[in-house]
Amino acid sequence: MNKFSFPIRLKVLITVTVMLMLVVGVITSTMANLFHKDKTAYVRDYSAGVTEDIRTGAGTILSGYISATRMLSEVLFADYIDSASKNKLTKPIFAAYPDLIAFVSTNSEGEPVLLYNATAMQAANIEPDGVLGLAAPASRRDDADVVVQMVRTESGQELVTLTASTVSADNSSRTVVAVISPTRLKRVLRRAGAFDAVLLGPDRQPIVTTGDNGNDVRWAHMALSYFESLGASRVVEYELPDGHFIAAAGRVEAGDLTVVTRISASAAYLTARQLLNNLIIVGLVIVVIALLGGVLVSRRLTGSLEHLSQAVRKIAKGDFNVSVEIDSGDEIGQLSRSFNEMADELNVREHSLRKAQLALVQSEKMAAVGTLSAGLAHEVKNPLSAVLGYAQLAKRKLSNPESLKEHLDTIETETRRCNDIIGNLMRFSRVEKGAFAETSINEVVKKSVGIVDHQLALKNVRIETDLGEDLPPILGNANQLQQVLMNLAINAQQAIGEDGGTVSFRTAMNDDNDSVVITVDDTGPGIDDEVAASIFEPFFTTKAAGDGTGLGLSVTYGIIQDHKGDITVSAAPGGGARFEIRLPINVARETGAENTMAMESVS
């Protein structure tokens, strides 16, 4: 069972990817954590800074209003200042504080005294009686010099009242109320920007707020409760069902007020998330670039290995004329150099083996010639006897020209017969170059039968042929194929023995019409399975010592392999042995050219 394997190129890519992802992940995580810590510290410091700025601004504004209120009280109730002078002195105070709408107090008889800025009153859309109504509920806390409250007019407009205690020149104590527009205080709170901000009174009621929730300051109460429970002094983070928040608080001395600000953590850490996203994108870009670089490096690395693999496959198919380009001096370059040396050595040895094979084939031919010599002597002796006899008769019948012509014709025929026998034997036995060419299998069978027919007839063995019609030619060597068929015929005759029998040659196309099949059957004793398994091995023989070399069928097998064919042995249907040879008809001519070149180089 073959194990599943990854190509080296894929292994390199996976390794590079994993390492890059680990490195980029560690760097991204480290940078994100460092930035988050730095951003957290910055947000907390910034929240505290925003709150401090609001606290300072609100305190400054309220302190100014308190001072203006006390100055108005001192001017208004000073007995040594006449009314005209009082009017002249109060106008600059209202001009300096345009948000100061009105000033309300009581005289020594307990009657209300009202000073107001007519322009501011008109802008606030309230009447003097309305101002007195707003100032009446204001009361000073016993433990505070100043009380600041948010009031609402009948029209729904929000104003701020500032209630303070003053001491007149006669050392009498009075309560004064200033009605103020919250415009300047709201402007200070808007400095918070993205923060929600609120200015709470001592009773934690809103004085001035920002944000979309109006006077809904439950979030501020929640933040103050976290300050109290955690003992935090400036900034606190807390989690609510509607989100994660960062809050800060500060105390305004004037009026004993509290400034509370908050911001959503998602908004505060938006830049951190953007940086993290940018880091992820940059990391992915780095990974992609590194992967592309890894692909190029791995292709360069494995390209040489792939060329080596292709060259090895060519050598496995018998092509030793291959070499690999050496384009580096590293281990792969050294491997390529060693491979080229191996290929050259194999090429030299392959040429040596072909020389030895040709010598072996030639020795088998000579062995076959020796086997045929007895039959050849008898075959040539008969026509020569006829030639001699008819020549003698011709000498006696010189007086009869017609009889002389008949005898001379017979002499010519028998002489040609001897010439054909000797010619066929000489062509068979000569050393050849082994060139491949288009070859007719039927012609090869006929020539083979012509050589061995008389030899087998002397042993009482009959040859039968059944040649297929219109067989296409194959690319091969006719003389080598003739040697194969003669070897099979002689082996069959030796297996049949003195009792005689039949050797049959049949040719036909196979079922796929891509090969020519030659079938050689005999009526001998057959071949058992154990012998059939080793019959094509060199030096294997079942003959007695001295009757054979054991190389005949091995040479036969080698010749068929050179023709890209196949030979098998089995039991014949009627008894005896059957050899079946399959020779392809579509072998590329380049194969024949390669074999021709190789054979010629060693001949």
> According to the model, what pLDDT value does residue 202 have?
84
Segment 558-568 mean pLDDT: 89
d(Cα 343, Cα 322) in Å, to the nearest integer? 7
Letter string b/e over residues 280-292, b meaning 16 or more CB atoms within 10 A of that residue's CB = eeebeeebeebee
CATH code reported for the domain at 348-602:
3.30.565.10
Percentage with pLDDT > 90 across the chain? 9
Strand order in the sheet with 146-152: 112-116, 100-106, 173-180, 158-167, 146-152
3-state secondary structure of 108: coil
CA distances from residue 147 to 57, 163, 251 in whole angstroms, order as listed: 18, 5, 14
- 208 close to 160: Cβ distance less than 8 angstroms: yes
State the pLDDT confidence band at 597, using cuts at 50, 70 and 90: very low
> Where is average pLDDT lowest: 25-34, 302-311, 424-433, 590-599?
590-599
> According to the model, what pLDDT value does residue 583 have?
94
> Where is average pLDDT lowest: 2-6, 78-82, 105-109, 366-370?
2-6
Numbered ranges of CATH 3.30.565.10 in the chain: 348-602
Interval 463-479: pLDDT, tens: 999 999 989 999 998 88
Segment 276-292 mean pLDDT: 78
> According to the model, what pLDDT value does residue 239 have?
78
Segment 339-346 mean pLDDT: 80
State the pLDDT confidence band at 441, using cuts at 50, 70 and 90: very high
State the pLDDT confidence band at 426, using cuts at 50, 70 and 90: low
Q: Which residue has the higher pLDDT, 379 or 301?
A: 301
d(Cα 428, Cα 209) in Å, to the nearest integer? 121
H or E segment to which residue 529 belongs? helix 529-534
> According to the model, what pLDDT value does residue 43 have?
81
Q: Which residue has the higher pLDDT, 383 or 595?
A: 383
> Where is average pLDDT lowest: 250-254, 429-433, 522-526, 527-531?
429-433
Contact residues for 448 (Cβ-Cβ < 8 A; gap 6+): 482, 485, 486, 489, 505
pLDDT over threshold 70, residue 212: no
Output Rg (C-alpha) for the chain, integer angstroms.
Answer: 61
Highest-pLDDT range among 81-90, 131-140, 187-196, 420-429: 187-196
pLDDT over threshold 70, residue 9: no
pTM: 0.47
Segment 438-453 mean pLDDT: 89
> According to the model, what pLDDT value does residue 352 have?
79
pLDDT over threshold 50, residue 402: yes
> According to the model, what pLDDT value does residue 370 have?
60
CB atoms closer than 10 angstroms to residue 33: 10
d(Cα 281, Cα 382) in Å, to the nearest integer? 102
Would you call 229 exposed, middle or buried from its count of C-beta atoms within 10 A (0-12, 13-18, 19+)? exposed
pLDDT over threshold 80, residue 423: no
- CA-based nearest residue to 100, from 54, 191, 164, 169: 164
CB atoms closer than 10 angstroms to residue 189: 23
